[in-house]
Structure 1
Amino acid sequence: MVRSAAKHSFTKSTVILSLVSLLGVALTLDFLWASSSSSSSPYLSTASNWAREKYSTFEVPNNAEIEKISDDKVQTNRIPERVLSATFADLPAPALEWEQMQSAPVPRLDGSAIQINNLLYVFSGYGTLDYVHSHVDIYNFTDNTWIERFETPKEMANSHLGMACDGRYVYVVSGQPGPQCGAPTARTFVLDTETRKWESFPPLPAPRYAPATQLWRGRLHVMGGSKENRHTPGVDHWSIAVKNGKALEKEWRTEVPIPRGGPHRACVAVDDRLFVIGGQEGDFMAKPGSPIFKCSRRLEVVYGDVYMLDGEMKWKILTPLPKPNSHIESSWIILNNSIIIMGGTTEKHPVNKRMILVGEVFQFHLDTLKWSVIGKLPYRVKTTLAGFWNGWLYFTSGQRDRGPDNPQPRKVVGEMWRTKLSL
């Protein structure tokens, strides 16, 4: 009887084990089918679909593992492909014919620019990470030559400036004095471009790096930027009444905060509307205790958000950029009822986490509030300084890519380029 019971138990166990095995095989086959289906899903698209899908993706294979088997015999073991964000890839765009003009007297990174009629005023910026400029260069679009240079105040910031102009007076707000990742200042200045004289202006309520800055409805508006540690996004929004280079009030007024903080955004006033475009959260910070404020890498999140203020004084969220984009403070112009933006930086590469530069030219249509990709720059580049004159679109300076096949930043340049543009 004992033997008979054992045999019965063995038979029952065998049946259960067989059922479990069959179930496991079924689940495995189902998983493989699902994986195959998802990998062929229409959702896996190239970067050309980014304008339609906020998070378009495509497949990028991992590096294969190489194992030595025997003498000079190598076998490649493929690892399953991963789905990665497409935002760092170049977008399809028509070619533009670019002509190289006379280069700026010095290369610039994180500089600023203002155009007044046929003159482009190019301000300060880094020459290298350890050297900053403290002067203004002027380019004459009529003669296509650099014609003049004059100094900035010693107390004025050298990079990450907020800047706006009324056609004569240039307001320079806050920013970073010195090289590397130095501490910010709240000091603000006004330049009279006709006399080349500088005047002090009421300081900002708190120091900011690269705040969105613009003149709108008789007031100088300053929004966002990075806070005193250079990394934490600020959402504060201040304004002060101005006229002919003078403040009409003693203090800045607190306005409705911007929905998302951060530096390196385009800020444009047109048709009684104020637009804030792109930007990022986070930035390099100074290493704790470093006497020279040496920069250390931190997490940055680049975004394509577009916000608008109108007569209701409420922020409205508009169609985002075709790809996340930052470092575009002076990279825009207004042309034929649209805003043109050139270059910038987008999301980090998803594998090596390196910064990726932007090489496209974007157009924001002010009638439809939609975006188009209208061309490519001669190379990918950030912090371009843009201008437009007599049918020609210009840009100068910035930090360009390592080559056509490497979108990571490398050389700081002062080159000036132009292309004929009609919209």
Structure 2
Amino acid sequence: MPSRARYAHGGWLGAALGLFLATPLALAEVREASGEWRRMVPLPEARTEVSVATDGERIFLAGGFLLAGERDATAPRTLFVYDPGDDRWEALTELPRGVNHAGFEYHDGRLYVIAGFDEASFTPTDAFHIYDIDTDKWRQGPVVPTPRGALATAVLDGRIHAIGGTTHGREDVGVHEVYDPQSDLWSQLAAMPTPRNHHRAAAIDGRIVVLAGRDDSTFRLTTNEIYHPDDDRWEEGAPVPTGRSGVAATALDDWVYLFGGETFTPERRTFDEAERYHLEEDRWERLPAMPTARHGLDAAAVEGAIYVIAGGPEAGFAFSDLNERLIPDD
């Protein structure tokens, strides 16, 4: 496996080594992979900037923007659940408060809505709502220590990680906080080396892979940073082949899959790219393109298939009810 740059909690040596290794990693071969796309039953509402989670059998979708009139958007509160076996959507519950660009995770019979932007605004929130599926009840958890939206979240070893995002003053942060359901407390971990927003994270093989996104200098970050919980450190992985932000990511078997995205410079466009990253081999493969280019989407894997849901077909405020399924070949 190619060597990776190790970050000593943001130290100059790790950052310098990361820059040194960026060129050889960027030149690594991107192999072609195969898979089959199919359009499934659409989401009941056309949304963008959504968040999805799965219990391994069903897919849950929450938050985002919903078009209101010709120009305005609202923050819909209906939380939907999708059954891939029946290819059917239904309303499950209502969010206590509207949110967009939020973290959203499933763990042990509960759904967690983590921070995001409040209602239909771009005001970061520290709200943390927990829904017990069996009892059909919400409770307000301890506030997220750093209010932010467009963050990345993942569940690893029973704890919920909240990484990066945009906080007050439109400041991008690399802050990394973790919630322990057993203690009902948040704590601080080593910060992500690259502050960014509109990125995604996926837990795989005991680590968290954080991909793509944007910052003050570009909408097309190729950054791939990997968190090791055993010694609370980050390292750099092979860069994303196609830099973009507003992406979706999920893990399936030995791979982390990355879909879609947008940019505004040098042109305003959305992406149909589907790529996957093998953590142990530190390499990327390119999959057949998504049927519909879009951003503000999200994805979840169930029973060997990946469902890529909602998002805007045009950069900026755009909406869709799309539900496209990829079955990748081995």
Q: TM-score, normalised by structure 1?
A: 0.65
What residue is the counterpart of 2:154 in the other structure? 214
Q: In structure 2, what is the Cα distance between the partners aligned to 1:241 and 1:196?
A: 22
Q: Is the 8 A contact 2:46 2:319 kept in 1?
A: yes
Q: Deviations over 1:302-329 (max 9, x none)?
A: 301111121221110111100112212x
Structure 1 residues 135-144 or 337-346, which shifts more? 337-346
- With over 3 angstroms needed to count, the CA separation of the structure-2 counterparts of 1:92 and 1:399, relative to structure 1, is farther
Whether contact under 8 Å (2:54, 2:105) holds in the other structure is no
CA contact (8 A) 1:93 1:376 kept: no
The residue number in structure 1 matching 2:18 is none
Which residue of 2 is the match for residue 286 of structure 1? Answer: none
Q: Which residue is 1:359 aligned to?
A: 272
Counterpart AA for 2:188: T
For the Cα contact (< 8 Å) 1:280–1:300, is it kept in 2?
yes
Partner of 2:116 in structure 1? 175
1:315 alignment counterpart:
234
1:332 aligns with 2:271: no
Structure 1: distance between partners of 2:34 and 2:204? 28
> What does 1:24-423 align with in structure 2 at a 5 Å threshold?
54=26, 97-128=36-67, 129-154=72-97, 157-179=98-120, 181-229=121-169, 231-243=170-182, 247-249=183-185, 252-282=186-216, 300-310=218-228, 311-328=230-247, 331-346=248-263, 348-350=264-266, 353-354=267-268, 356-401=269-314, 408=315, 411-423=318-330
Q: 1:267 to 1:390 in 2, by over 3 A?
A: closer
- Following the alignment from structure 1 to structure 2, what is the Cα–Cα distance between the partners of residues 144 and 412? 21
- State the shift of 1:272 in Å: 1.4
The answer (yes or no) to whether the contact 2:142–2:184 under 8 Å persists in 1 is no
Give me the whole-angstrom Cα distance separating, in 2, the residues matched to 1:240 and 1:118. 24
Counterpart of 1:304, as a letter, is T
**Structure 1 residue 185 displacement after superposition:** 1.3
Whole-Å Cα distance in 2 between the matches of residues 399 and 92 of structure 1? 28
The size of the alignment, in residue pairs, is 302
- The whole-number CA distance in structure 1 between the counterparts of 2:95 and 2:225 is 32
Are the structure 2 counterparts of residues 97 and 315 from structure 1 closer, same or farther at C-alpha, using a change threshold of 3 Å? Answer: closer
Pairwise CA distance, 1:93: 6.4
How far, CA to CA, are the matches of 1:409 and 1:379 in structure 2?
Answer: 16
- Distance (whole Å) between structure 2 residues aligned to residue 413 and residue 325 of structure 1: 19
| Structure 2: segments with no counterpart, 5+ residues | 1-22
Given the superposition, is the C-alpha separation of residues 167 and 320 from structure 1 closer, same or farther in structure 2, using an over 3 Å criterion?
farther
Higher-helix-fraction structure: 1
Distance 1:216 1:392, change over 3 A: closer
Quote the sequence identity (%): 21
Tell me the equivalent position of 1:404.
none
Give the aligned residue type for 2:295.
K
Residue 383 of structure 1: how far off its partner (Å):
2.3
- Per the normalisation by structure 2, the TM-score is 0.83
C-alpha contact 2:25 2:238 (8 A) present in aligned 1:
no
The amino acid that maps onto 2:76 is H
Measure how far apart 1:389 and its partner are: 3.3
Name which of structure 1's ranges 358-367 and 106-115 shifts more when overlaid on structure 2.
358-367
Q: Given the superposition, is the C-alpha separation of residues 142 and 261 from structure 1 closer, same or farther in structure 2, using an over 3 Å criterion?
A: same
Cα distance in 2, alignment partners of residues 137 and 255 from structure 1 = 32
- Cα RMSD for the two superposed structures: 2.6
Q: Which amino acid aligns with 1:318?
A: G
Deviation >6 Å, runs of 4+: 91-95
Higher relative contact order (CA 8 A, sep 6+): 2
Q: Give 1:94 shift.
A: 6.9
In the TM superposition, residue 410 of structure 1 has moved relative to its aligned partner by 7.0
Q: Secondary structure at the match of 1:414?
A: coil
The superposition leaves residues 139-165 of structure 1 with CA deviations (integer Å, 9 ceiling, x where unpaired) of 1111001133320103xx410112222
Q: What secondary structure, in the 3-state scheme, does the structure 2 residue paired with 1:267 have?
A: strand
2:212–2:240 contact (8 Å) kept in structure 1 = yes
Structure 1 gaps of 5+ residues are 1-50, 56-90, 283-298, 402-407
Q: Give the direction of change, closer, same or farther, for the CA distance of 1:307–1:358 in structure 2 (3 Å limit).
A: same
Q: Tell me the secondary structure at the aligned position of residue 310 of structure 2.
A: strand
SS of 1:280 mapped into structure 2: coil
